[in-house]
Structure formats: C-alpha cells, structure tokens
Homo-oligomer: A and B are copies of this chain.
C-alpha cells in the first residue's frame, strides 16, 4: 500500500492537496518549478525521493500543454511497476492515449477527477477514478486521505477503466453548469420583481434548510449575496473552463439531448460578447422588412 507519493504542481489546488494529504498521514514530496514552494529541484529528484519498489507520482498541473509536458518527462523517468496519476482536467480520450503509452513501459495510469475547489482542504475532495483495480487498490490510502470524511463511497468512486475518472468529472462539471444557471435564472426573477420581493438575499437564504433546492451551491449564493446583495461589484462576464464544452461535444457524439447544459454554456459565451453579431443580424432583418426601430451603433 502506498503511503508516500510525489506530487507535481503546487499551485492553488496542489498546495492544498499536499497539506490535506500530510494531515492525513501520507508522506508527500512536492515538485513545482517555483523554488519557493517546491520540495525538490527537479522531477528526477522527485522520483529519486520516492520509495523505489513502486513510485507513485500525482500530476496536478493545468490541462493541455502543461500536463502533456510533465507526462512526457515522467515517461522517461518512471519504470515498470510505477504509477502515474493524472489529477488535472484532461479530456478522457487523451487519458486513454497517454495510458497506452505508459503501458508500453509497464507504468500504470490512473485518471482522477477532483472536485472541491478551494474548499477541499477543509472539506475533503470528491474523487472519481479511472484505471485498473490493482492500481486503484495500491493507491487507496492516498485517496482515503484526500476524500471527505464519512463513508468512502460518498466521496470516492472507481468508475471504470482509464478515462472513466475524467469522464465522470466532465459530466459532474456539465451538471454544475446547469445547476448554476438554474439558480442564476431564479435569482434574476427575484431581483426583477423588486416591487414585490423586499429581500432577495433573505429569500435565497430561507432556502438553506428543508427545501427541495438546498445545496452547497445555494449556500455559496447566500454567502455571495450576504457580501453584495445586488451583486453590484461584479461584472456579468463569465468564463468557461473547457469541461462544459467537452460535455456538450460528448452529448453530440452520443446523441444525448442536453438542452439545459448547452443553454448554460451558451449563456456564458454570450456573457463575454461586447456585441452579439447574431442579434445585429436580427436587428438588420427587422429593419429591412418592417422599418422597425433599431439602435445605431455608437
């Protein structure tokens, strides 16, 4: 059983995870290019510092090129019997390609979707894992230290073979898009009825217990409204992280209708447009056929 791992990437997420792991009795050797946070000067040193019979390296760097770069280096360093864990937000198909490459060298590969944000340090992280049963079993003490307290199955799942962890995390994030948009539409309906609803924050807060819509996201909305009851300090610009896009792409591939998740994604796209070319086109059509009022661009 593994009780000492290497952890690559000590940013906001990785740093908190190192703290929680250590508190949970797991030895962690961390590596990060920034000297002020790293435990060792290089990936090679990281590998050297681990118990040699089965080295386990957890990669926690941004998806895309950064993850690809670290994995390519590790492929040179790790050897038969070791395990690499991709804990970032890679696309599950890329996991399957990477895992095949590591398998050529006899190195195991686990993909882990990690949920919990900045709250995970305290609450524990929800974990969704893909890979072989033997690899999962070997790393279980690490997962147990990271996940929330309580029954294992309420904060951890071995969802299937390689890719299943990030597939599950992708779907989790897609759901999250839909949930957030549903709360947001409800908030707007309350705020728009200011002649009747005297207390928007209080109304949302009253949903915290006993109601059907109570949730952790609702609690966060209550906190946000407590600080800024009209959200006056925020712009309506909303980024998207990529996983919402993958979720809708997957729905298209599988012919699964996703009206709600796609609507939430499109709302984010629209939030970032200074001007909507599509709505200019609608305005143009209305002007052409009916002489309807339009607004000239400034």
Interface residues of chain A, those whose CB is within 8 Å of chain B, are: 12, 92, 115-120, 123-128, 130, 147-150, 153-161, 163-164, 167-168, 171-193, 196-199, 202-203, 205-218, 220-221, 223-225, 228, 231-240, 245, 247-272, 275-298
Contact = CB atoms under 8 A, between A and B. Distances in A.
B210 A123 contact: yes
In the A-B complex, the 6 residue pairs with the closest CB atoms? A178-B182, A215-B215, A157-B206, A126-B211, A235-B295, A259-B263
B231 A183 contact: no
In the complex, which of the residues A120, A181, A278 has the most CB atoms of chain B within 10 Å of its own CB atom?
A278
Given A175-B213, A188-B277, A295-B235, A285 B180 contact: yes
Contacts of A214: 126, 215-216
A217 B210 contact: no
Given A159-B199, A233-B297, A263-B260, A281 B210 contact: no
A174 B189 CA distance: 10
20 contacts: A115-B211, A118-B289, A153-B202, A172-B211, A175-B213, A178-B183, A179-B179, A179-B213, A179-B215, A181-B278, A181-B282, A185-B260, A188-B256, A189-B256, A224-B281, A236-B283, A237-B283, A249-B249, A251-B266, A258-B266
